[in-house]
Structure 1
Amino acid sequence: RREVPNKTFVAAPTDRCACNECKFMKMNTLQKVHDCLLNGQPEVTMPESIRLAAEAPLRRMLEWSA
């Protein structure tokens, strides 16, 4: 907070919060991921402006995970 005083920090939910479980993420299975990688389906399309806006934070997350 000292480094970026103009930012608002929001605490992440605890493991006791029902919002930690995503019913949509639970729909993913290894078989579905395998089929997707094999066939490239289902395909997600979006406007280029949205793709570009989403690219920067995704790249930062990938850099932090390395």
Structure 2
Amino acid sequence: MGTLRMGPEPASSVVDPAGRFHDVDNLYACDGGVFPTSSGYNPTLTIIAVALKIAHGIAGTRPGG
């Protein structure tokens, strides 16, 4: 966790808020690497939620839609 900092600026992050790598076209991060730190709890459900959010963004759909 915390290995792929998420943010809008390439100078201070690896992926943008949609999970896209700044420097590699068509590559997304959909795992715990985008978390800033470990929460101290089991992260499985949060990782699933992040992956679903990014997958819906890639597909251009909305959850439940």
The two structures share one fold, judged by TM-score above 0.5: no
Which protein, 1 or 2, shows the higher relative CO under an 8 Å CA cutoff with sep ≥ 6? 2
Could you tell me the TM-score, scaled by structure 1's length? 0.32
Greater helix content: 1
Q: Larger C-alpha radius of gyration, 1 or 2?
A: 1
Could you tell me the TM-score, scaled by structure 2's length? 0.32
